[in-house]
Amino acid sequence: MKMLFLGDLVGRSGRNAVIDRLPSLVEDQALDFVVVNGENAASGFGITEAILQDVLDAGADVVTTGNHVWDQRDTLVYIERQDRLLRPVNFPAGAPGRGAHLFMARNGAQVLVANVMGRVFMDALDDPFAAIEQVVDNCPLGQVADAILIDMHAEATSEKQAMGHFLDGRVSLVVGTHTHVPTSDHQILPGGTAYQSDAGMCGDYDSVLGMEKDEPLNRFQRKIPAGRFSPALGEASICGLALETDDRTGLATAVAPVRIGGRLEPVWPSFWQPRGA
């Protein structure tokens, strides 16, 4: 199965780049399944229902989130009717929405997607390891799910790496989000699970984590807020991870970063068709 995971959409620049480019990627690369983290899509903070629908219409099968999921207050309401929007599974009991679900891919396969949030340097939530283990135990790879993708939304690379090893051999992919900077540690772990500490963001990299530079610089230097954070509006880089899995086991057979456009050096997976083919 051929899949694509895209890192955090940041503001208008990031979401427009993905909405414009994703349809051709799905068609040209015959992608079976696409996951996009959309938690910074609405002016850098959360995601509106209209933006969510635009991303889904462009070809995303699932949109994950993280610590900014409730920044658009109406998300608390519409998430109940949008079953392709996930919030972290380790939110306390009673939180609206869902953190994991089994979805059908374009090729008819069953794909389990789970969104989980770390606790190191993050808000205090339920244990992410216990929460994700319950999800995976209830829908095992190769028995119920043909593939399992985990979005680990976390600050600390150590916590993300620990989750990768914790789930190695039991899921198809563990990929980190939240820090907005693509890491170079993509690999297939010994048990067959693909891993990368952070997919990076889909946004303008002439910025501070996708935000216009002046206010972050001001706060670092003066420690006094002078205004709001605003997403940078220059050309976005689309950053993510391409994944292929074994149809029999659901484990990874190939993984590679994807970087398209903007300021970052482009990266194109060797196992994809050439650009424009």
d(CA 26, CA 109): 16
The percentage of the chain sitting over the pLDDT mark of 90, rounded to a whole number, equals 96
- Express each pLDDT in 55-91 by its tens digit: 999 999 999 999 999 999 999 999 999 999 999 999 9
Mean pLDDT, rounded, for 30-39: 98
Q: Are 64 and 35 in contact (CB under 8 A)?
A: yes
pLDDT value for 14: 97
Angle between helices 157-167 and 128-138 (to 10 degrees): 30
- Express each pLDDT in 143-198 by its tens digit: 999 999 999 999 999 999 999 999 999 999 999 999 999 999 999 999 999 999 99
3-state helix, strand, coil in the chain (%, to 5): 25, 30, 50
Q: Which tokens in the block code for residue 275?
A: 């650009």
- Max CA separation in the chain (angstroms): 56
d(CA 85, CA 62): 6
Superfamily name with CATH number, domain 2-260: Metallo-dependent phosphatases (3.60.21.10)
Q: Are 101 and 65 in contact (CB under 8 A)?
A: no
pLDDT value for 276: 62
DSSP state of 236: P
Q: Which tokens in the block code for residue 63?
A: 């949109």
Q: Please check the confidence at residue 277 and state whether its pLDDT lies above 70.
A: no
Which residues are within 8 A (CB) of 23 and not within 5 positions of it... i.e. 6 or more apart?
58, 59
- Express each pLDDT in 203-234 by its tens digit: 999 999 999 999 999 999 999 998 889 999 99
d(CA 241, CA 186): 8
Strand partners, 187: 195
Q: Are 252 and 243 in contact (CB under 8 A)?
A: yes
- Domain range list for the chain: 2-260
Q: Which tokens in the block code for residue 216?
A: 């972050």
Q: Which tokens in the block code for residue 97?
A: 């929405």
End-to-end CA distance of the chain: 19
DSSP state of 70: T
Q: Please check the confidence at residue 12 and state whether its pLDDT lies above 90.
A: yes
Confidence of residue 270 (pLDDT cuts 50, 70, 90): very high
Q: Which tokens in the block code for residue 223?
A: 């420690």
132: nearest Cα among 97, 155, 160, 103: 160
258: nearest Cα among 248, 247, 244, 245: 244
Positions annotated as catalytic residues are 68
> With b meaning 16 or more CB within 10 Å and e meaning fewer, what string describes 248-260?
eebbbbbbbbbbb
18: nearest Cα among 48, 62, 46, 59: 59
**What is the CA 18 to chain-centroid distance, rounded?**
13
- Express each pLDDT in 112-146 by its tens digit: 999 999 999 998 899 999 999 999 999 999 999 99
d(CA 129, CA 267): 32
